[in-house]
Amino acid sequence: MGHPNGIFFLGICYQHEIGIKKDEYRAFFYYQKSAEMGHVNGIYYIEFASLGNENRIYYIGYCFQNVIGVKKDNYKAFLYYQKAANIDDLDATYMLGICHQNGVGVKWTNLITNA
């Protein structure tokens, strides 16, 4: 699987259920893989997902945190959750709280002090 165009279109097939069962996780994996190989449309799909659709932004964070199509990167996951939360995605807001609570992608600090 070394051809960027073929890899990109495999992502299309997974996303739109063309000849194969729909699987958005695999679609993202193949878009990311084609983007890493320099495929313009793969780059566009990954960038588009991060530019304003809160569900897609949250999903990218989820992928980075759960190793779906990308290498694990808790910091990037946190950043995408933060972007989605800033445009009122409730799932992302929840995940930001979990990240802060568990020190995922951020430095954990105890904000409770003895008064």
Taking only the tens place, the pLDDT of each residue in 87-108 is 888 888 999 999 988 888 887 6
Task: Specify whether the CB–CB gap between 7 and 34 falls below 8 A.
Answer: yes
Residue 26: what residue type?
R
Q: Where are the domains of the chain?
A: 4-102
What pLDDT was estimated at residue 53? 58
CA 94 – CA 98 distance, rounded (Å): 6
- Answer yes or no: pTM beyond 0.75: no
CA 71 – CA 98 distance, rounded (Å): 20
CB 2: neighbour CB atoms within 10 A? 6
Tokens of 96: 């930001």
Taking only the tens place, the pLDDT of each residue in 4-49 is 899 989 988 988 889 999 887 788 888 888 888 888 888 777 766 6
